[in-house]
Structure 1
Amino acid sequence: MTNFIPIFPLGIVVYPGEMLNLHVFEPRYKQLAEECFREGKPFGIPAVIDQKVNEYGTLVEIARVEKTYDNGEMDVRTRGIKVFRILEIIREVPEKLYAGAIVNYPDNHDRTSDTLREQVLAAVRELHHILQVSKQFPVEDHRLRAYDIAHHAGLSLEEEYEMLHLFQEMQRLEYLKRHLNKVIPLMMEMERLKDRVKLNGHFRDLSVDNF
């Protein structure tokens, strides 16, 4: 399927199923949000990295308007629907302030592995423990997808974007597993280094056997 959608480029990666709060203040995006909410139509959020609008993004819908300000600014709550690929950006849309794009929607396969998901979740929780971060997922473990976990795994923006255009759940989970297996030993070493730095300058009881 190929179609035209309004676009709202942002320097973030949004995943399908993700709830995202936006404060809309630019005139072009106020027009976009008002129109999409009124007509019940979705819009796209392509990821902007290094000031470049990238090829992939996520189609979102406005779940509700939380607040409309006197100057027309809006607080809206959006929900990610599915990943799109930009075929062509339409910078000037007749009678509109916002830009749009011709997009298609790559097939996305959700077949998963319970074992792999459990390994990824265990690694994420180990990372959070090292960082002394407390995070709770909104649903039970068996209902979580890689998309639900990604923002909690310490990925960079570029890595989050790489995962956005993996179109099999098993690939996404493997991607997260490899990332966490690389990051966790580094974080553990940093914690050990921190402990050594704390000891420097303090009196310590040291002894060596047999001397």
Structure 2
Amino acid sequence: MHTKQVIKAGKQTGEATKALVMLHGRGGSAEDILGLAQHLPVNDFALFAPQATNNTWYPYSFLAAPKDNEPWLSGALAVVNDVVADIEATGIKKENIYFLGFSQGACLTLEYVARHASRFGGAVAFTGGLIGDQIYKENYTGDFAGTPIFIGTSDPDPHVPVDRVLASTAILTEMNAQVTQKIYKNMGHTINQDEISQVNDLIFKES
């Protein structure tokens, strides 16, 4: 199971009015994903990057039956929930909490926010979709109340089928998120400059 190990960066929580939870991909690390922050206008944010045990949030594909990824999946969601609770305990409200993930971390990001839908600051999924061999709508509750969400992916992507991205966008939209979905032809399993520009304009409101 995951132990809660979180690398913090950016503003101290006592000073920051906003927080960004950053979730790394399979085989990545908290340090890796924190490196993305230099490309984002988040100088005023407290940054939180949890580290997955053995660098993996759950062992199998996100398209496996959820029970096959247990107890790791529930453990990963619990880590994110603990981080959010820690942030709220410092006085930062949900509408000022943001989420960002890449690949496995993007899937975890979308799964977490869909299970706890509220008016968040925003969410960014660089190549990800809702988790499961099918989409389990009964797991998703709440109302995003206009929360901006960005999902970008490649067509094709070796790990994330475009149809799962489309289905995830549809469900998040039903839950009143303002979803921007971008599909890039043959981008590969990576993050491109257009995605960075999109999230800076749509989510972080670069001024």
Greater percentage in strand: 1
Same fold at TM > 0.5: no
Q: TM-score, normalised by structure 2?
A: 0.21
Per the normalisation by structure 1, the TM-score is: 0.21
* Larger Rg computed on CA atoms: 1
